[in-house]
Amino acid sequence: MDRRKPVVLILDDVVENVRVLGSLLGRDKYSLLLASSGQQAIQLALSNIPDVLLLDVMVPDIDGISVCRYLKEFESFRFVPIIFLTANADPKDISLAYEAGGADYVLKPFHARELRVRVETHLEIKLMRDRLHTAEDLIRRAHQMALASQSSDGTLMPFVKELETFIQMPSRVSALEITNDN
């Protein structure tokens, strides 16, 4: 079975950093989209939705946090993990990155193996979330089909009742849906 390589978008205004990150992750394992400006990252992301983004925070034209905030306005980016890469260890800035929709925050200089593991972990979480959404859609469609074929006296088959119970269950709470009431 031919599987699509995960798409990773890398944003860093230092071209050498983009090159190093690209070779560190490996073109044989990932399809890489490389951007050296925030505007370029937005254009690349909107034209080819990546599976994960690695964004430098301090980019001159549009900083990484603003890029994240902008992309998270689109439903198609709701569950796309964004990992920030920066030398800035200020707790306020780290909080801003997470509040903007970031999934992770990696300080430079970083360890190559750690970054690869973080990228792989976020890709795996995204894959599981995508599979969950697909399964939920299939269950909803099966429920609709079952309702359409209910018995002539209007009673629901036991399978349909089980589907209705599942569909009415509260949704799983994701980290993105948890709000701080402070």
Q: What is the pLDDT of residues 142-170, one digit of tens each?
A: 877 777 766 666 666 666 666 667 667 65
Question: What pLDDT is recorded for position 45?
Answer: 99
What range defines the domain where residue 31 resides?
7-127
> Is there a single domain that holds both residue 94 and residue 161?
no
84-92: long-range contacts at Cβ-Cβ below 8 A with a sequence spacing of 24 or more? 84/55, 84/56, 84/57, 85/12, 85/21, 85/54, 85/55, 85/56, 85/57, 85/110, 85/115, 86/56, 86/57, 86/58, 87/58, 88/57, 88/58
The model's pLDDT over 52-85, given as tens digits with 9 standing for 90+, comes to 999 999 999 999 999 999 999 999 999 999 999 9
CATH number of the CATH domain containing 50: 3.40.50.2300
pLDDT at 16: 92
Predicted local distance difference test score (pLDDT) of residue 48? 96
Whether residues 139 and 164 share a domain: the answer is yes
3 state DSSP class of 8 = strand
Same domain, 86 and 114: yes
The verdict on 115 and 31 lying in the same domain is yes
Domain total of the chain: 2
Check residues 167 and 176 and name the one with the higher pLDDT: 167
Predicted pLDDT of residue 178? 35
Average pLDDT, the chain: 86
* 173: confidence class by pLDDT, cuts 50, 70, 90: very low
At 124, the pLDDT band (50, 70, 90 cuts) reads very high
pLDDT recorded at residue 2: 42
Residues 68 and 144 in one domain: no
In DSSP terms, which residues pair with 54 in a beta bridge? 10, 83
Asked if residue 166 and residue 120 are part of one domain, the reply reads: no
CA-nearest of 12, 11, 3 to 30 is 3
Q: In percent, how much of the chain has pLDDT > 90? A: 65
Q: Using the predicted structure, report yes or no on whether residue 140 has a pLDDT greater than 60.
A: yes
Q: Is residue 176 in some structural domain?
A: no
52 and 98 inside one domain = yes
Q: Does residue 39 sit within a domain?
A: yes
For 97-116, the pLDDT digits (tens) are 999 999 999 999 999 999 99
The pTM assigned to this predicted structure is: 0.78
Q: Are residues 49 and 90 in the same domain?
A: yes
Q: Are residues 42 and 108 in the same domain?
A: yes
